[in-house]
Each structure stands twice: as C-alpha cells, then as structure tokens.
A and B are shown apart, each in its own frame.
Chain A
Amino acid sequence: MLRHWLKYVSRHSSYLLTSTSIIKSSKICFFFQDIPFRIPLAFMRIYSNNNKKYEKENVTIINMIKYWHQIFEKEKIIEPKKSIEHIIAHVLGISRLTDLSNISTMKLNREQLQKLEGLCQCRLSRMPVQYIIGEWDFRHITLKLEPPIFIPRPETEIIVDISLKRIVSFKNDKCNILEIGCGSGAICLSLLHSHKNINITAIDANSHACELTMRNAQDLQLQDRLILFNAILKNDGLIEKKKNFFKDSINFYNDKFEIIVSNPPYIPTETVFKLQPEIKLYEDVKALDGGHDGLKLILSILKYASEALKIGGFLILEVDFNHPERIEFFIKQNYVNKLKLEYVHKDFANKDRFVEILKIG
C-alpha cells in the first residue's frame, strides 16, 4: 500500500526508500497535505517547456545550476541553490562546493545529465539532500546515510565534545562507554575517531541502523573498537538483545558503564507530524517520536542508567530545550539517591540542549 502511494508521487524517490523504511499509515494523510500530486506533473511541464533550450549546447554546470535552482524555487523546496549545488557536485564526484566554480563552464555528459535528473526529481519529492547524495559530514568524518536512518544534526556535534571531555576526565582509556540508539553511527564513530584508545558498545533497535553503523565503521576502519548490538531498550529500563554482530558478548544486566551517551527521540508525537516533509516523510519516525511529551525514551534511559552506571559515571543526553527542568524534577522524584543532574549545556542557538547526569549512589 505504502509503496504504491510513493510510486505514484515519485517513481524516482521510491527506489531510494528501503524495505525497512517505516512510515505509519497516519503519516500518509499528512503526505497529501504537503506533497500534492501536482509536483511530478508540474515538473514535467517545466521540463518540457524548457526542453528546447535544454537540448542545445547549454548543459554546462553553471547553466544546469541556474535551471534547477529556478525549478526548486518555484516548487518551494527549501535551500534551492544549495540543494542543486550539492546534487551536481555529487553527480560529478566532487566533494566540495567551492570546487564547482573552477569548472563552471564544463559540460555534463548524457549519463551525468540522466543521473542529475533522477536525483533532482527526488529533491522535488522533498527527499533530504543527505539521502540523495548518500552521505554527509559529521564533525571530522563522513558518514554514509540512507533512508530512513536518522540524519545526524549539527547540534549533535557538540555532544561529542562534551563526551570527549568527560572521557578524558576519567583518565582511564579502558572505561566502558555505551551509546543507546546509534543510528548511522555519528556519535560513537566520532568518539572513536577522535580518541584513539577507547572502545565503545553501541546498540540500536533498528537492525538496518546497525548495519549502516557497521558499514560506516568499516569505511572509517574503526570496527575493531566498536561492539554493536541490535537491541531494544524497553520501557522497564531493561535492554533486550535481538542480535549481535560480534562474538564478544556483553551482559546488559550485570555490566556497568562509566559513560552512557545517547541522542534519543525527543520530539512530542503531535509535533512529529508537523515537521518539514523532508523529515516526516523520509526519516524513521521511531528515531524522532518521544511519546506525548517527548520524554518517553528519556525516562527509560534514566531508569536503565540508574542501575547500569558506575558510581561517578555520567549519562550524557541530547534533549529538547524544555526538557532539562523536567528531567531534574523527575530525578528528584524518583532517583534522588541515585542520580543527579550535574550540568546543562547549550547548543549553537543558545538553547539548553545537553544534560550530564551523574550517578551518585
């Protein structure tokens, strides 16, 4: 059913969607609201209008950027210019946009043009640029990204800084670190990349996310120091393993950690369906939806951490800007002798975004 709809909207973007993509049926009604059917049709109209001009000798990079920029703008795609620049750079195999200007009069060949058209159609269907070009940078590493695995946000780069400082403060390279919900592997792989001696255990509920993290780890040659599990953190604060990718086993009931880091879903359910189409259509809703107040997963993590952290260990979380107060209140209510909200850090936009919770007893 879902595939059928998607095909109807855009043949091109549906083939980039994977079998594990999770879009609830409730999403489809929002689908209509934001992505009207006229898009592919409108696109065809523009395309045929310009066909004549297009077939001429004008298929230089600079002209193609102008051409698609106009179409994107007309269709109210956000960041129209940046989108086409990223896509064209990807088609040409260039990693930096500034390099485009040096070859702006170069012509595209037929294959490149075809690829460009297919990918631009994806963008017209609001597919995020990161999925279209299949990769994005996070801190100093480049990650492969594919739908529907959550695209790392720039704010999350800061949680790595916070975690790194914390790891260094332990002065113990052997310390146990756990990431809950690794997605594409942004946090754990950045940590491994920046700190050459540590090992990290990571879990994700989505087996597709685990596979992606594994592939990214192999690309970055960090797989030796990563232990990856396909596991679910349940509401009662217990972790249930589904499948592990390695022989070495970790017992989540007995093993204790110095650091637990996570960027859990924290958007309230209502808000999830009001997000931009790029997010709600293509990203795994499970990686965003934090229950009715956005705290559902956070509370489970608190429960798990209250047992699984060593005394003096830290739980480091990315949360929504109104959560820190509520987390502090919740801790005082339920874990007064076990946990303590030690620090709240702000993101680039000066919003309270990160919390560090200390295990005290």
Chain B
Amino acid sequence: MKLLKIQDLRFNIQSLKSMAIRNLQVPKTDVNKFLNKLTNAYISEESTCFQEVLNFASVKNLLDERIQIVENMENLVTLMEEDEELKKLGKEETLVYENRLIQVDNELIDLIVDYLDGDQYSDIILEISAGVGGQESMLFVKDLFEMYLKHMSYLGYTSEIIQLDESSIGGIRNVSMMISGKDCYTKLIHEAGIHRVQRVPTTEKSGRVHTSVVSVVVLPQPNDIQITINPNDLKIDTMRATGAGGQHVNTTDSAVRITHLPSGVTTECQIYRSQIKNRKLAIIKLRTKLYDLQFNKEQKSIISMRKEQMGKRERNEKIRTYNFTQDRITDHRLSDGSLHNLKNFLLGGKALDELHQRLDELSKYKLLVELIAKV
C-alpha cells in the first residue's frame, strides 16, 4: 500500500520515460506496473519471462538501487508520520529520492528497450533484389543500390560488394554488400522490407506509370562464438571439381560454393581472384544466413518471441513508396511519413538519416507499448 502511495506522489512531480520519445506518450501508470512486476520477479527469483533481461549485470544493479530507494522512501514516510518536525526535512529528502528513482527507471527502460530492439552489430550484409516489375524493378535496384552506397559514405561506413548480378539493360537483379560501421545494424534495419516504385520506366514508350517492387534484406553478421560451424558439415564446390585439377588446369575462375549439409543452406562467392579469399567470404555469408535462421527460430520467453516477430515483420512489410511522378517518398510506417524532393533523397544524405532517426524512435516506442501490454 505504501509503495503505491509513493508512486502516486511521483507522477505529479515529473512525467516519465515517454518524454524521450517525441510526440509519443506511453501511459505512466502502465510503465510503473511493468517496472513493479520486473522488480517483483527479481526479488522472488522465480523464473519468468524476464529472465533474459535479468541476466544483465547492469539491470541487476539498477534494480538493486531501485529497491533500496523504495525502501528508504517507505522508511521516510513512516518517520514523517511519527514526527511532525521531521516532516519538513523529510519532504526535501523525498524529493531527492524521487528524482533519483525517475533516473533509475528511465535507465532501466532504456536498457530493456535497447535489448529488445536487437543486439548491436557493427557488421551486416545488405541484400537488394528485384521483385515484381521485371527490368524496371532491376533498374530501381540499381538506383537504390547507388543511394545506399552514397549513404554509406555519408555515414562513414565501409561497404564492400560481395555479389552483383547485372541484367541485360543495365539494371541489377540482385546485389549484396557487406557493411561495417558503428551501429550500422540499428540504422539500416529500417531499410529492410519492400520498397515500391511508381514511375514511367525508361523502357516504357507510351508513357504509362508502372509500379514495381524491390526487396531489401538486412542480415546481422554474427561472430564466431554466436555461430560455430563444424568444418565436417561443409561441402565445398569449386569450378575445378571435375577433371584432374592442380597443374592440369588453368582458369581464372575462383568461384566457391559452400553447402552446409545439416541445414542445406548454400552460399557462393566469386568476387576475388584468390580462391581462399572467396572461401572465407562464402563462410562469412553462410554464418550470417545460419544466424538468421536461428534468429527466426521459435523460443520460449515473451522477449524472444517479440524478437522473432520483429524479424518476420521486417521481411514482407511494404515499407516505402517512391513516387517519381509526384516527386514524393512515403514511408508507410510513419503516420506523417511523406517527404518531397525525391532526387535529393536518392542522394542518400541527411534526408535518409533523419528518416532513420524518426523510425528508430517509433520502433522503440512500439516495443515499449507492446511489452507493457503483454505483461
């Protein structure tokens, strides 16, 4: 009872977490309900859906502090009831505790949301492939690809093309690149999904507007520990697999194809002139694909399920429309997601980065709301 009393008091003083999220308000009572449940789970040491989060030392420390503060505040209230003189002093002290409590709560929420938002990766593989729309779609793959390349240099990330399949009229069927840079996963995950383009294709003579789609996939690159591959599970094919090989043959083909026998996943690499480099890259690609599979596997806790949903949703969602005739970009995830000046947007500079920031805020907000609703 006392605990509740204190918290009621608190709301009047300052509003909570929601402030960090621009224009988006999370009901404070819900946030507190969530945090109380988390604290209780921590005290009771029962295994609950919070288990994953509670394994973090930083979360534990914050919860310890939170419990301590709440206890102190309870003691203060008792004291204040007993002695009128202490009331004045007590009020000041309560204020200090309250402020600290708000800080701790915000940090806790931040930590949990960041955790749910996915791990931090500084290496990813980004794949763009043409969908419905034939040649026109392939031409747009090329436009998007160039936009990302420019965006990478805008952000100071390094990118390396690891596969590129060109179409006959200068478009690209599919392209994948390896991107490295701080927080690059958090930023570029917002690009994953279906991109729709509406324009009069250069191939169209009668001037009709066509709609085509392009899909973008963002895969985080795991490290050796997250995915271990047994060399015996790999079947490695090269172009030299037939014939005598060795000194008997001279080709420039150094392509490598690797099949992971237990899962049947296959990757290929042929960009380097050295076969060993191609093999290394094919293994990186394989590891990324296996990790993606595992990432999407069903797991028990709510938190993991939440992650799984995220993974799936990003694949098939129509996330953005590029309308060339109206010079407009619409991001369907945002309520006011329309931007103008398409040409500038395709330069991959500030406009794209700002959009990513808005999307980041939105996704964190959604996560929090869903999390609270579940508990």
Contacts and interface: CB of A to CB of B under 8 A. Distances in A.
A105 B170 contact: yes
Interface in B192-232: none
Nearest to B238: A348
Interface in A128-161: 128-130, 136-140, 150-151, 153-155, 157-158, 161
Contacts of B240: 154-155, 348-349
A276 B247 contact: no
Q: Is the interface of B mostly helix, strand, loop or mixed?
A: mixed
A98 interface: yes
A: interface residue count bin: 35 or more
B277 interface: yes
A42 B242 CA distance: 32
A140 B277 contact: yes
Interface stretch (A2-10, A76-84, A167-175): A76-84
A346 B241 CA distance: 12
Contact of B252 (A129, A158, A348, A353): A129
Nearest to A274: B248
B166 A138 contact: no
A267 interface: yes
Interface residues of B, number: 31
A276 B243 CA distance: 12
A287 to B, nearest CB: 8
Given A101-B164, A128-B250, A353 B274 contact: no
A154 B166 contact: no
B273 to A, nearest CB: 4
B271 interface: yes
A82 B252 contact: yes
Interface string B249-280: 11111101000000000000001111111010
B255 to A, nearest CB: 10
A116 interface: no
B256 A153 contact: no
B162 to A, nearest CB: 8
A154 B275 contact: yes
Nearest to A154: B275
A114 interface: no
A348 B275 CA distance: 10
A62 interface: yes
Given A79-B253, A101-B166, A349-B240, A321 B275 contact: no
A153 B166 contact: no
A88 to B, nearest CB: 13
B252 A153 contact: no
Contact of B236 (A267, A283, A348): A348
B175 to A, nearest CB: 9
A139 B277 contact: yes
Given A137-B277, A155-B245, 19 more contacts: A62-B170, A98-B161, A104-B166, A105-B170, A137-B272, A137-B273, A137-B274, A154-B274, A154-B275, A155-B246, A263-B247, A278-B250, A279-B249, A279-B250, A347-B245, A348-B275, A349-B238, A349-B242, A351-B246
30 contacts: A78-B251, A79-B253, A82-B252, A98-B164, A105-B170, A137-B273, A138-B274, A139-B276, A140-B274, A140-B276, A151-B250, A153-B246, A153-B249, A153-B250, A154-B240, A154-B275, A155-B246, A157-B274, A161-B276, A263-B247, A278-B250, A318-B246, A321-B244, A321-B245, A348-B236, A348-B279, A349-B238, A349-B242, A351-B245, A351-B246
Interface of A: 62, 78-79, 82-83, 86, 96-98, 101, 104-105, 128-130, 136-140, 150-151, 153-155, 157-158, 161, 263, 265-267, 271, 275-276, 278-279, 283, 288, 318, 320-321, 347-351, 353
